[in-house]
Amino acid sequence: MTPDCPASTDQTRHVLVTGAAGRIGSYFCSHYAKHYTLRMMVRPGKDVPEDLAACGEIVRADLADADALRRLCADIDTVVHLAANPSPRAEWKDVLETNIVGTYHVMEAAREAGCRRVVYASSIHAVSGYPIGFQVHEDEPVNPGDLYGVSKCFSEALGRYMATQKDLSVIAIRIGSFQSVDAAKDPDRVTMMNTFVSRRDLGQLLQRCIDDDSGIGFAVFHGLSNNRFNRMDITDAQEQIGYNPQDDFTEENPALQSLDLRDKVRPHSDREKEP
C-alpha cells in the first residue's frame, strides 16, 4: 500500500472509472487499484499509460455510445465519472456533446444497471463567477464563469434529479487546481494558492465518496486541500464523510512559507468573543 492511500473500508467494490487515462483518472487508478476491482474506460484512440494495464480491466468506449456504457456499468457498484472536455475555453458544441449529453448517458446507464452510486467530477468552474474574495459554500447558488462551468452546473442538477427522482446516489466533487505537491513548490504558481488540491488529497476524497455507506442520496463536496485560504469551503466533506486533507499550499510554496500564514492568520470560521 502506498503512503498516500488510507485504508479502505471495503476491498471488494467494483468501480468503473471513465476518463481513466486522464490526469486524475490515471493517478486514481494507479494508487487505488489495490482497494477496488477497477474497470477503466478509455475513449477509442486515446493512448494508455503502460502501467495502467496492471491496475485492472481496460475498456474502450465513447460517451456518445449509450449502449456501450450500459454494458460497462453491469456488475458495477460505483461509477467515478471523470471523462469530460476539460477546457474552460471550450465552445458550446464541445461541452454539449461530451460534458452534458455524455454525462447524461453515464448516469442513465448507471441507473439502469442498478449501480449504487455515481461520483461525478464537477469543477470549481461551476462557481467561478463569484467575486475573487468570496468564499463559496456548498449551499450557495451555482455561478459559472464560462460554458465549461455551465456544463458542470447542468450535471450537478442532473445528479440531484437522479438521486431524488430515480434513486441513484450521486456525489459531485467540485475539483480545484489538481496538481502535485512539487507544483505547489514553484514560486510562480502562487496564483493557485486558494484553489490547490494535491493528488493525494483528491485521491482520498474520491475514495471516501466511494466507500461512504451513510445513505447519502445527493451531495456536493468541494475538492480542495487544507489550504489556509480556500476559494471553496471544505467543511461539508470533512464532517459528512471524514475527508482529512493533508496538504496546504501556503506551507509548500517558498514565496509563502516564510510568512507563517498557518499560525498568523485566523481561519474564516474563527470569531473573536464580544468584549
169, 219 Cβ separation under 8 angstroms: no
Q: Is 148 a catalytic residue?
A: yes
Q: How far apart are CA 147 and CA 100, in angstroms?
A: 11
Q: What is the DSSP string of 21-84?
A: TSHHHHHHHHHHTTTSEEEEEE-TT----GGGGGGEEEEE--TT-HHHHHHHTTT-SEEEE--S
Give the active site residue among 32, 36, 148, 243.
148
Nearest in space to 227 (alpha carbons), one of 207, 201, 203, 206: 201
Grid cell of 263 as nine digits:
499560525
Grid cell of 217 as nine digits:
442520496
Which residues form the catalytic set?
148
